[in-house]
Structure formats: C-alpha cells, structure tokens
Structure 1
Amino acid sequence: MKKLSRLASFWVIAKSLGITLWISVRTLFEVYTGRFRREVGDRRLRWWSSRLLKYVGVDCRVANPHGFAFEPGKRYVVMCNHRSLYDIPITFVALPGSIRMLAKKELFKVPIWGQGMRAGEFISIDRVNFEQAVKDLEAAKAKMASGIILWAAPEGTRSREGALLPFKKGPFRVALDTGAVILPIGIRGADRVLPPKTTRFSFGERVDIAIGKPIDSAEYATTEIKRLMDDVRRQIETLGGYQRTD
C-alpha cells in the first residue's frame, strides 16, 4: 500500500472523470438514437468499475460462504454498508446481473453524468420531498419488475467517521412491497482507498467483500419493517466488521 502524491492523485481523478464522462455520453447517444440495450449497459458499467479500481490498484477479495446466486425471475435488493465512494464500482465488479443504484436526486443534477445515470436506468430518490419520494419508489419497483437488481445503501449516505449510520426505511419498503429478497453485503477496506476529507489516494489496498445470507422480505408482514431492518443491520454489522450494537 502506497500513499499517492498529490500529482498522482490528481491524475487518478482526471482519468476517472474522463471515463465517467465517456460512458455517460455514449449511453445518452444510444438512448436518444434507440440503440441502448440493457445488457450492453451492464457490460459498460462493469468495464467502468474495473477501470476505476485498476487506477488505484484495488485488490478485491469476494467471500460467498452461502453460495449465493441470483435466480432469474426473482426480485432483489442488494444492501451494503457505505464508507467509500468506491463501494458502487466494487459491488458492480463483485456481483453479476443488471444492478442499478438507488441514488439521491442531487447526483442526477450533475451535468452529463446525471443525465447518463438516468439514461442508464439508475433510479433517483428524493430524500426531502415525501410525495416525490413515493413516486421515486414506485419507479424503483417498476424497474425491479423489468429485471433490475436494486442497489441501495440503507444508511442513506456515506459514513464519514466509519460508524454504521442509522438505516432509512425507503429501501426496505420497496423490498416489502415487491416481496424482494434482500442480499446483505459487507465491504471492508474501501475507505482506505480514499479516506474521507482528503483527495489523496492510497494505491494497492485490499478490499474484502462479504456476501451474507439472503433475507426473503416475503416472510415479513408489512408491519414488521423494523424487524426486517434489524435483521439486515445485524448481518451488515458482522460482514462489515462493525462493533455489534445488540
């Protein structure tokens, strides 16, 4: 593991922004010309993710002790802890399928990238306007019905101090309303790649991705959202290496 110089870190940022801009423009062009295909988007996202990780030399190690595999025709919500900006590309590299992120609406306002995300079937969530949030969650359900695997950070935002933040109800409501299977994931080490409050990268970090035991939300009543949240949180606490709170 090596701390990159400011110049090298700037070069990582420049390259990362460059390929993000490229895939955004390419996706927008394909959507507007009627040429976009979801499977092409899947491959492009994994290519983008692998390049981002290569730029900082991330060594990803995936543990899947339960032998989990996505089953066609089922609905899934992947939930993981969120310590790093690299959690998304790490997940795309570690898991197969048409995974798309449930992201805060502010990201979709970023020029070109935001439009590219929407064109590439990422899903916006309004964390302030309740009525809009309800509409956003309905859109998420429609995407899942078409085969999208939803990725959500139940903390709602990136943890700056390393602690596991309180969970938001939104992703769990989607899971309960659709009878989705929740796949808990714990990521360790991603925060060392780019620590909070800095723009200097660490090269060659090992990141461990632990895939937990799937939780079928269909086994919970709609009134049992707290129990479901607690069960998922316990797994993520263990998988992510946090100190248990119970």
Structure 2
Amino acid sequence: MKASRFQALVIILKNIFITFWISVIVIYRAYRNAYSRRHCDQLLHWWSSKLLEFVNLSYEVFNPNGVRFEPNRRYVIMSNHSSLYDIPLTFMALPGSIRMLTKKELFEVPIWGRGMAAGEFISIDRNNRRQAFRDLQEARKKMESGIILWVAPEGTRSRTGKLGPFKKGGFMLALQTGATIVPVGIRGANEVLPAKTTDLHVGCHAEFHVGRPIDTSRYSKKQINELMEEVENQIRELAALPR
C-alpha cells in the first residue's frame, strides 16, 4: 500500500532520528574508549528492526543449507542490492558482526559517516585505485578480527531491479583472505521504495534466500571470473532474477 505524503514524511523523519541517535552513541563510546563490538551489533539489530517496523515490512528467511558463521573463519556475504532496505534485512536475517563495505562518499555525511567509521564499517574509494587497495587491506584486517563483510558485488544499488555487472574488488578480497562467500538473494524489498521514485510503500513482504557457501580456497586468482560467475548464478537464482 502506498503511503500518504504525511505518512511517508513521518517515516523518513523517524529513520533520520534513529540513525542519528545510534551514530551519536557509537561516536561517544568510541571517543570514551568504551566501544564494544557486541554493543554495536545490538544497536544495529535494534536500528534494523525499527526501520522495518516503520514501513511494516515483514520477511521470511530461507536457509536450506543451514548456513552458520563459524568462529575463526572469514566470510563475505554477497547479495543483489536494489533497495535501501536490503541492509537492515541482512542485519536482521543473519547473526554475527556484519558490517558493510561501502563507498567512501557515505562516510562524508555528517554524524552518520563518523558513526559508521566508529562502528567498524569499511569505506572504499572507487575513484582512486591505490586508496582502494589500502581500503581492501583494512577490510582484510577487520575480517581477520571477526567482522563478517557484506558486499554488493554490483558496486552500488541497482536502479532497475536487475542484476548489474559485478565488480572484482570484493572477489579479490575474498580470494586474498581465503574467505567463504555466502550468496544471498533478496526478493520484494525493492517494492518498499521503487528505484527512481519517492513513492514509499508500507505492508510489503520480502524474502531473504541464503545460498550455498563457496569456499574461495578452491579458486586461484586466475580463476576469479569463474568464481564471479558461480556467485552470480546463485544470486540470480536466489533472487529470481532473469538473465
């Protein structure tokens, strides 16, 4: 159901407020040297639940392979990305200390950007190859400390709902760290706020499909295209996207 202009405005203001609020909390705790990853995980879970609650977005998680994140192993979650609600859905659907690998421009947003940095989110400069390399090395350190990385292999949010061309950065990182890639297909989340519109819908239903984990140690760097193809095939099937 399409939200009225007033209803949409209220939802947007609520989203801004709680995003600002948890950013301030994380920044403050980091400033006081009292940052706790576990506490940040709890805040992100709470934030995500509120974002879904505000638009009354229900969801189901399908995990036929019983995927679990084991301690002392490195993981990269890769999913299609056509909705702003893919992120809170991921935080709600999967356990663990999940953080995004995202474009550096988001870190320039006042308060929110600092909160993301303090909360161990990872930026990547797509316009500077040398800096992007350093960013990926920082991501590797985070993963080795227990962070589960969420990556949109398309590099950005799809404006059409279709699966765009994959970028190699996330796959190179997975290969370098011997990480396990967990493909995910998200269905229905893009109906909340269709691309290229300001039409907010409430009462939608999404599905979160977890695929078969892929051990990147089975691939060499020369086989990166094969790895990308395997992940893409899974995501297309999981998200029910045509070729």
Aligned residue in 2 for 1:145: 144
Q: Distance in 2 between matches of 1:7 and 1:195?
A: 18
Structure 2 length-normalised TM: 0.99
Aligned residue in 1 for 2:174: 175
Q: Is the 8 A contact 1:83 1:159 kept in 2?
A: yes
Q: Is the 8 A contact 1:58 1:206 kept in 2?
A: yes
Aligned residue in 1 for 2:77: 78
Displacement of 1:162 after TM fit? 1.3
Aligned residue in 2 for 1:93: 92
The answer to whether the aligner puts 1:44 opposite 2:43 as a matched pair is yes
Q: Please list the CA deviations of residues 20-53 of structure 1 after superposition, one character each: whole Å capped at 9, or x if unmatched.
A: 0000001000000011100000000000000000
Q: Distance in 2 between matches of 1:11 and 1:202?
A: 13
Displacement of 1:139 after TM fit? 0.3
Structure 1 length-normalised TM: 0.98
Q: Distance in 1 between matches of 2:25 and 2:197?
A: 30
Displacement of 1:197 after TM fit? 1.9
Q: Which runs of 5+ in 1 are unaligned?
A: none
- Name the Cα RMSD after superposition: 0.6
DSSP 3-state at the match of 1:124? strand
Aligned residue in 2 for 1:237: 236
Aligned residue in 1 for 2:64: 65
Q: Is the 8 A contact 1:9 1:199 kept in 2?
A: no
DSSP 3-state at the match of 1:198? coil
Runs of 4+ off more than 6 Å? none
The answer to whether the aligner puts 1:4 opposite 2:12 as a matched pair is no
Aligned partner of 2:81: which letter? H
Displacement of 1:125 after TM fit? 0.5
Q: Distance in 1 between matches of 2:38 and 2:161?
A: 35
Q: Which runs of 5+ in 2 are unaligned?
A: none
Displacement of 1:219 after TM fit? 0.6
Q: Distance in 2 between matches of 1:199 and 1:10?
A: 11
Q: Distance in 2 between matches of 1:163 and 1:98?
A: 28
Aligned residue in 1 for 2:123: 124
Displacement of 1:222 after TM fit? 1.5
Q: Is the 8 A contact 1:172 1:225 kept in 2?
A: yes
Q: Distance in 1 between matches of 2:222 and 2:190?
A: 35
Aligned partner of 1:180: which letter? A
Displacement of 1:198 after TM fit? 2.1
